[in-house]
Chains A and B, each alone.
Chain A
Amino acid sequence: MNLAELPGEALARRLEGKGILLQTGPFTVRIHSRVEGFTQQFRRFYASFPVVSEPAIADFHVRLIMPGGIRRRWRPQVLLLLDGQEVFLPYPLSHAFPLFEWGLNWAIAMQAHQYLMLHSAAVETAGKVMLLPAWPGSGKSTLCAALVSRGWRLFSDEFGLVRIDDGLLVPLPRPTPLKNKSIDVIREFAPGLEFGPAFHGTRKGTVAHLRTPDASVAQAHITAPPGWLVFPRYQAGVPLSLKPIARPQAFLKLANNSFNYQLLGLHGFQAVTRLVRHCDCYILSYSDLDEAIIKLNQLTDT
């Protein structure tokens, strides 16, 4: 059953009661909420995601609550509990959905050490995954959204999840958060995409989420091998350039980009070296999305 098949009132009751068990990529998440406004946004963005039948063991327990006290009257807030623990300061109530998304990212990054986790977007075409590893501000999410709008399968906007034992990439499609100028860039680039509301004044500025394509959610159980490592670098006005980089350089960049390379020890080393061995490695500098996508399509067609 998908989330959309649960009537609105039943969903709200479940969220307020024993929680919803949602499947997102390889993870089962139990979600509780008694927060006004969250249910509608959650339902909208996760409509096509599978609901896991009870009983089942959850990888993560996420609970959204409204703290009590007098503040609740004049400036209501929302608090996120992960496995019963507070991990962030409270957010304004209206930011419950982005808080949920960041909280789930945090939970995965802190706990999913059965995978090598790269801070990377990942998109698939022709049965192989292109990883776009980058730190914030590099244009990773924008490029990822643009590729997905042109038919690439979304693996993840945030995580390159590499299975340790066979090196395959594991999909984790979720809503894509675009920030600040990227929102209008993608609205203009792909007018057909479904955006949620803009959340202003978050710790990352204005954030608006793109709905995950249903086809990517439906194929979230289908892993794929890595094919290309492309380190994106957006810079206004620069001419397009896609330069191959040597494997040692790609190795260093990738190891530094990983959330848990050090923690995985030898497994991390083996996973990163295998990835670099099996990928063509490039640095992409771009300022124009159309040009970048033509170039990446040419790369993957050859």
Chain B
Amino acid sequence: MAGDGIVDGPEHTEAETRWVAPEKQELHWENWGKQHALYDARSGETHLLAEQTARVLQQLVACPGTAREVMEALCSESGECCDEQSLEHSARLLRQLHNVGLIEKADT
């Protein structure tokens, strides 16, 4: 923990955090164009996700990764150009998915 003199493990910047999603069979999707409903069988919770958030989560289901890896995979898939803004956006969506319990930090 930085600044308190206690060393309790390796530090990661947010961009280096590896994220992991539930197994594919735990998530049940309904797609309405740019909106997606998602039922998480682990928690019993239902989520309504916008298109970009759903893509980020689906990418993580396919392959755990960092914000940068997720962003690069999505950019490669869509042919879009990646920049620092899209990295920030990707990191923000990952934080939101984490906050609602849909993804977790991978064990280091």
In the complex, per-residue mask of A273-285: 1 if CB is within 8 Å of any chain B CB, else 0: 1000100000000
**Chain B residue at minimum C-beta to C-beta distance from A248:** B35
Interfacial chain B residues near A277, Cβ < 8 Å:
30
A262 at the interface (CB under 8 A from B): yes
Binds B, one of A21-29, A98-106, A263-271, A292-300: A263-271
**Contact between chains at A247 and B32 (CB < 8 Å):** yes
How many residues of B are in contact with the other chain, CB < 8 A?
10
Give the contacts of B32-89 with A (CB-CB under 8 A).
Answer: 32, 35, 37, 39, 41, 44, 46, 48
User: Is A6 close to B, CB under 8 A?
Assistant: no
A255 contact set on B, CB distance < 8 A: 46
B37 and A265 contact, CB distance less than 8 A? no
**Cross-chain contact A246 with B32 (CB below 8 angstroms):** yes
State in angstroms the CA–CA spacing of A265 and B42 once bound together: 10
Contact B32 A248 (CB under 8 A): yes
Interface of B is mostly: strand
CB of A252 within 8 Å of the partner chain = yes
| Beta-carbon contact of B35 and A266 below 8 Å | no
Contact indicator A248/B37 (Cβ below 8 Å): yes
Does any Cβ of B come within 8 Å of A251's Cβ? yes
Chain B residues in 8 Å Cβ range of A270? 28
Chain B 5-32 near chain A by CB (<8 Å), digits 1 or 0: 0000000000000000000000010101
Q: How far is the CA of A277 from the CA of B37 in the complex (A)?
A: 12
Query: Which residues of chain A are within 8 angstroms of B32 by Cβ–Cβ distance?
Result: 246-248, 251
Q: Is the CB of B44 within 8 A of A265?
A: yes
Q: In whole angstroms, what is the CA distance A270 to B38 when docked?
A: 10
Which residues of B sit under 8 angstroms from A266, Cβ to Cβ? 28, 39, 41
Please indicate the chain B residues that have their CB under 8 angstroms from the CB of A269 in the complex.
Answer: 28, 30, 37, 39, 46
Contact A251 B30 (CB under 8 A): yes
B48–A248 contact, CB under 8 A? yes
Contact partners of A251 in chain B: CB under 8 A: 30, 32, 37, 48
Q: Specify the chain B residue showing the minimal Cβ separation from A269.
A: B39
Which residues of chain B come closer than 8 Å to A265, judged between CB atoms? Answer: 41, 44
Which 3 pairs from chain A and chain B are nearest by CB?
A269-B39, A248-B35, A273-B30
Known: A247-B35, A266-B39, A269-B28. 14 other contacts (CB 8 A): A246-B32, A248-B32, A248-B37, A251-B30, A251-B37, A252-B48, A255-B46, A262-B44, A265-B44, A266-B28, A269-B37, A269-B39, A269-B46, A277-B30
A-B contact pairs, 28 of them (CB 8 A): A246-B32, A246-B35, A247-B32, A247-B35, A248-B32, A248-B35, A248-B37, A248-B48, A251-B30, A251-B32, A251-B37, A251-B48, A252-B48, A255-B46, A262-B44, A265-B41, A265-B44, A266-B28, A266-B41, A269-B28, A269-B30, A269-B37, A269-B39, A269-B46, A270-B28, A273-B30, A273-B37, A277-B30
Q: Write the residues of chain A forming the contact surface with B, with a CB cutoff of 8 angstroms.
A: 246-248, 251-252, 255, 262, 265-266, 269-270, 273, 277
